[in-house]
Amino acid sequence: MKVRGLPLLASMLVILFHGLAPAQNPKPVILTANATFQQELAASPTTMGPSGGVGVAILVLSADRSKVDFWATFVGLSTPVSAAHFHDPANFGTNAGVKRNVCGAGGLPPCSEATIFNGTWSRTDTTQPLTDADVTALLAGQVYFNIHTMTNGGGEIRGQVIPISSK
Ligand SMILES: [Cu+2]
Residue 148 CA to ligand 1 centre (angstroms) = 6
Cα gap 85→103, rounded to integer Å: 8
Q: 133, 31 in Cβ contact below 8 A?
A: no
Q: What angle do CA 66, 64, 13 make, to 5 degrees?
A: 145
Residue 161 CA to ligand 1 centre (angstroms) = 14
Q: What is the DSSP string of 66-110?
A: SEEEEEEEEE--SS-EEEEEEE-S--TT----EEEE-SSSTTPPP
Residue 147 CA to ligand 1 centre (angstroms) = 6
pTM of the model as a whole: 0.82
Instruction: Tell me which residues have their CB within 5 A of the ion that is ligand 1.
Output: 85, 146
Residue 76 CA to ligand 1 centre (angstroms) = 18
Cα–Cα distances in angstroms (integers) from residue 110 to residues 18, 19, 51, 120, in the given order: 52, 51, 22, 16
Domains and CATH numbers, the chain: 26-163 (2.60.40)
Residue 39 CA to ligand 1 centre (angstroms) = 13
Residue 96 CA to ligand 1 centre (angstroms) = 9
Question: What is the pLDDT at residue 10?
Answer: 64
Please list the pLDDT of the chain residue by residue as tens digits (167 residues).
Answer: 555 666 666 665 555 555 555 667 899 999 999 999 999 986 566 677 788 899 999 999 999 999 999 999 999 999 999 999 999 999 999 999 999 999 987 777 899 988 899 999 999 999 999 999 999 999 999 999 999 999 898 899 999 999 999 88
Measured from the Cβ of residue 80, the count of other Cβ atoms closer than 10 Å reads 13
